[in-house]
Amino acid sequence: MERILTIKRVPTVVSNYQENASSDDLKSKAQGCGRNCLGKCCLPVSKLLLYCFKNAEHERVEDFCGSCDGGCPQMSFLNNLLLGQWEDRMSRGLFRYDVTSCETKVLPGKYGFIAQLNEGRHLKKRPTEFRIDKVLQPFDENKFNFTKVGQEEVLFRFEPSKDDKSHYIPSSPLDSEECSPTVVAINVSPIEYGHVLLIPRVLNCFPQRIDSESLLLAFHLAKEASDPFFRVGYNSLGAFATINHLHFQAYYLAVPFPIEKAPTCRIMSSKGPYETRVTVSKLLSYPVRGLVFDGGCKLRDLCDAVASSCISLQSNNIPFNLLISDCGKRIFLLPQCYAEKQAHGEVDRDLLDTQVNPAVWEICGHIVLKRRKDYDEASEQYAWRLLAEVSLSEEKFQEVKSFVREAANLQSEEEYISMQEGRYDSTTLQVASHLPQDCLVLH
């Protein structure tokens, strides 16, 4: 008999429709429900706000915001819309607690881990059993999913523009081609200001797994927000996603995440001219082993490299978290094994007692604590210990690197340099001078 690995944890309530509805209840309401939900019954006749993002064929990674020409210093239109709508939902009392009153501090030390005391997030929920040994699991319509959410939790639809400009249309009915819209909704258990969910093609009922088209939507959201403090994150199943319906999360945090400040070393790059290459680096002196993607010329190229890598991890059943940072220009891919260790009883009791689930935000250095005592005692040493438990072993990480190299069709930098040495002696030094100091020692 197959042994199923599970862990028990208190699930996060991301929608007000998640708590009370039993699955029978949800089923009976699945048609013509008059509840103004996001299902097939109500969505096609909805009149949600519509934000159309700039969708030029060759949208570049670099050129800055979508709502004005050139690098604009003022707030992007998308930011204004998102935060205005978010605050409106706050004033309507849709959140489960007031996140603006949660205490936050930067832990003393070299890395600047950020601790938040959030006592409201996990109250009133019993632990649930989660299967953690399968990164790909089929969508189950009888479980909570985002088609059950009420439209008041949705801030706007997020769709590609039909020309190469961004647009905003208040109250736009769905046209027949877009019968499964992408929406941005609030997370009713926010961990920071502006915490939202991006749900690609909600009526398609995709399970939680990365595909290139959906990931590109997340890149566009990060790019159009054009605010380096706005990050988009993703948790796979087995890496602390609680809902098996495709979604990304995003919020604003006005300090750098420790992971964004970690030194990196280039290890792989895509083929082709130097300036247009997607490069992949590994994190140095950070408790979690991870890869950082950047470069590339077109948004689509960078996105495809990340998507192919994620798809490969998914099919090799390796749980991971993803952070889209720097307006879609830098992406952190973090394979992890905490839940697996937890299921095998290999995580220390005192770490488990804090009930911190190391998902994308924790791994990147923003640690949400549930108990006053843990918050008061939190230290850089604690953060490091927790995150070290998340990290793959060096051996397993090597395996991930080779999956990524193959899936995204990359060459390793060592190879590249030796290839260049073979062909053009004089350019080798020039290439090496692009690399950070740590990379000069090549193995």
Q: What are the residue numbers of the active site?
A: 247
- DSSP assignment of 358-401 equals --HHHHTTEEEE-SHHHHHH--HHHHHHHHHHHSPPHHHHHHHH
Residue 10 touching Zn ion (CB under 5 A): no
Give 39 or 258: the residue with its C-beta nearer to Zn ion: 39
Q: How far apart are CA 443 and CA 439, in angstroms?
A: 9
Q: Does 386 participate in binding Zn ion (rule CB under 5 A)?
A: no
**Which span sits near Zn ion by CB under 5 A: 33-41, 96-104, 298-306, 409-417?**
33-41
Which 77-106 residues touch Zn ion, going by CB under 5 A? Answer: none
Task: Give me the least distance between CB of 9 and Zn ion, in Å please.
Answer: 30
CA within 13 Å, CB half, 91: 6
Output the CA–CA distances (angstroms, integers) from residue 198 to 144, 425, 432, in the order listed. 16, 48, 40
Distance separating alpha carbons of residues 335 and 266, to the nearest angstrom: 18
Min CB(245)–Zn ion separation in Å: 16
Judged by CB, which is closer to Zn ion: 39, or 233? 39
Nearest to Zn ion of 53, 146 (CB atom): 146
203 binds Zn ion (CB under 5 A): no
Interaction between residue 75 and Zn ion (CB under 5 A): no
| Contact residue for Zn ion among 42, 136, 417, 431 (CB under 5 A) | 42
- At position 375, the amino acid (one-letter code) is Y
Which range touches Zn ion (CB under 5 A), out of 35-43, 167-175, 356-364, 397-405? 35-43
Of 158, 13, 150, which Cα lies nearest the Cα of 92? 150
Q: Which of residues 388-427 bind Zn ion (CB under 5 A)?
A: none
**Residue 39 in contact with Zn ion, rule: CB under 5 A:** yes
Residues in the interface with Zn ion (CB under 5 A) total: 5
Our finding on whether 33 is near Zn ion (CB under 5 A) is: yes
Residue 49 is a binding residue for Zn ion (CB under 5 A): no
d(CA 261, CA 109) in angstroms, rounded, equals: 13
Contact residues toward Zn ion (CB under 5 A) are: 33, 37, 39, 41-42
